[in-house]
């Protein structure tokens, strides 16, 4: 390992420890490249690479005009179920949004795409009662809490069931409810959207 490589790992490790210890709380801006270069007696290029390691780990994010900040971790604990869930859905407010509001947070869902020509994935075809690859309605949503990305949701529905319902509309309501989960690696575009490490784990909630 070269001296420069060793140096950038030391910088990354020191900053990592400080972030985890709370010296730089979520949402706080890291010192500038110049300040860190002076602190660690190195070049700005070495600092930049050290910070890139932290970014790849999902500890920090770059914000236009704001520099590098410790990545906030807005979380919503889904505490309600059963009758509580059904009561909230009946009001027209999504359970996710209602649970976030109850915890003093602001959640939102954004449409990424809605199409009635999506090929049914093999794992969904049996559940929808169609052949694998048959055209179905697909709704792809992007969830945020306090404007920070939290999850991507893909919902599928048979076209005859979705016709004339909110599921086929370009609004964030009407998504089918997930019932099973699985996990796989994030695709590159998902990593970019969620600001998580490339190939990091993702949970799948098929509808």
What is the predicted pLDDT for the residue at 104? 85
Query: Taking a C-beta distance cutoff of 8 angstroms, is the pair 141, 178 a contact?
Result: no
d(CA 58, CA 196): 5
Q: Which fold has domain 106-204?
A: Chorismate lyase (3.40.1410)
The 8-class DSSP code of residue 48 comes to H
pLDDT tens, residue by residue, 45-80? 999 999 998 887 778 888 888 889 998 765 666 665
- Helix ranges restricted to H, the chain: 3-21, 33-40, 44-56, 83-90, 95-102, 122-128, 159-162, 188-194
Tokens encoding 67: 């520099």
d(CA 173, CA 92): 8
d(CA 137, CA 168): 7
Q: What is the CATH number of domain 3-70?
A: 1.10.10.10
Q: Find, among 46, 67, 48, the residue nearest to 4 by Cα.
A: 46
Domain boundaries, the chain: 3-70, 106-204
d(CA 33, CA 48): 7
- Helix ranges restricted to H, 58-151: 83-90, 95-102, 122-128
- Per-residue pLDDT averaged across 115-138, rounded? 89
Q: Find, among 145, 128, 137, 144, the residue nearest to 179 by Cα.
A: 128
Lowest mean pLDDT among 91-100, 147-156, 179-188: 179-188
Q: Find, among 93, 10, 89, the residue nearest to 50 by Cα.
A: 10
Taking all residues of the chain, what is their mean pLDDT, rounded to a whole number? 78
């Amino acid at each position: 390992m070269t001296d420069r490589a060793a140096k950038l790992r030391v910088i990354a490790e020191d900053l990592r420890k400080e972030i985890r210890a709370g010296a730089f709380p979520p949402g706080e801006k890291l010192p500038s490249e110049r300040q860190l270069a002076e602190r660690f007696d190195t070049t700005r290029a070495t600092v930049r690479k050290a910070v890139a390691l932290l970014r790849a780990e999902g500890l920090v994010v770059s914000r236009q005009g704001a520099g590098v900040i410790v990545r906030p971790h807005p979380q919503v604990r889904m505490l309600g179920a059963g009758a509580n869930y059904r009561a909230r859905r009946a009001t027209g407010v999504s359970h996710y949004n209602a649970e976030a509001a109850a915890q003093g947070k602001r959640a939102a869902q954004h449409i990424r795409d809605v199409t009635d020509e999506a090929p049914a994935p093999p794992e969904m075809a049996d559940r929808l009662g169609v052949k694998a690859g048959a055209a179905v309605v697909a709704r792809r949503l992007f969830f945020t809490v306090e404007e920070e990305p939290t999850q991507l949701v893909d919902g599928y529905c048979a076209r005859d069931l979705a016709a004339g319902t909110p599921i086929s509309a370009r609004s964030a309501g009407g998504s089918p409810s997930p019932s099973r989960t699985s996990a796989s690696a994030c695709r590159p575009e998902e990593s970019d959207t969620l600001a998580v490490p490339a190939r990091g784990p993702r949970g799948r909630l098929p509808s």
